[in-house]
Structures are given as C-alpha cells and as structure tokens.
Amino acid sequence: MFFVACLLNLCKIIAKINRYGVFVSEKKIALASDHGGFELKAILAEHLRAMGFSVADLGTNSGESVDYPDYAAKIGEWISGNPTDMGILICGSGIGISIAANRNSQIRAALCHDGLSASLSRQHNNANVLCLGARLIGVDSAKDCVNKFLNTEFEGGRHTARVEKLSDFIKKE
C-alpha cells in the first residue's frame, strides 16, 4: 500500500512537468503592459499558457495610449495579495514600468534584455517581476527571458543579506 501511495505521488509530480521540463505549480503568472507592450504581452500570455501556467492578464487590453504606472501598480497589488507569485510587466522600453514597479515595497522588478540577465535577476536578486521593453527586444529573446526567469531559483546565501537590505530602504522612509 505504501508503494502504491508513493507511486501515485510520483505520478502527480511528473504530470506537473511540462514539455519544456519546467515543474508547473499551481502558481499564476500575472502580466500587465501599457499600450507599447500590448502585442508582446499577448504573445507571452499564449507562450505561458502553452507551458502550462495559469495567466492573470491585468491589462491593458488594446493598443490605445495608457499610463504605464497604472499597470505597474496593478502588478504591485497582485503580488501583495499573492506574495509567492510572479509578474511580468512590459512597456515600450521597459524602463518606465520597471521604475514604477519598484516603488512598491513588495516588488523586486528587473529589466532584462536576455536570458542571462533574467537568470541572474532571480539567482542573485530574487526578482519577482520581470520587465521587458517591447520596442527593444525580439519575441524570441522575450520568450528566453521568461523561460529563464521562471526556471531559475534564488541562490540565497551571500545574496540573502543584500536582498534584505532592499527592504530596509523602505523601512527607513
């Protein structure tokens, strides 16, 4: 009986490994963008769904001009209510939306341009929001960033104290 129970648990774990070799948990990925990132957001939402993730699309829902700080705030609200989840933000350059996102004390947003920067943002900085510049990065590079961001764990160790200092900045204000 014990063997059967172990085998069933193993099957449940294997069933959560998608075709990319990624262990898919029950976590959702929240996406948001301004008008400059709207098209890339739609592409990445489909990419994430194909990988087996549940996607929470927080807008915008068209290419009409909107203000990026509003969508960074939506990701901030999402992460505050779901602290173990991750988010992806996209604007034209990625710069404005990453600055806006990092105003929220729950967010550690990283503007990434390639898979290495996305991996290091997780590994060394425990980033929980990936920011992308739709006008500066191609679709394949954006997908690589997403894959590396979601597949890299925080290394901890010597990086933990540094990441904790980021929270100390908020406490001093």
Catalytic residues: 91, 124
Contacts of 129 (CB under 8 A, 6+ apart): 75, 79, 86, 87, 88, 89, 101, 107, 108, 109, 110
Alpha-carbon Rg for the chain in angstroms: 17
DSSP labels, 94-108: SHHHHHHHTTSTT--
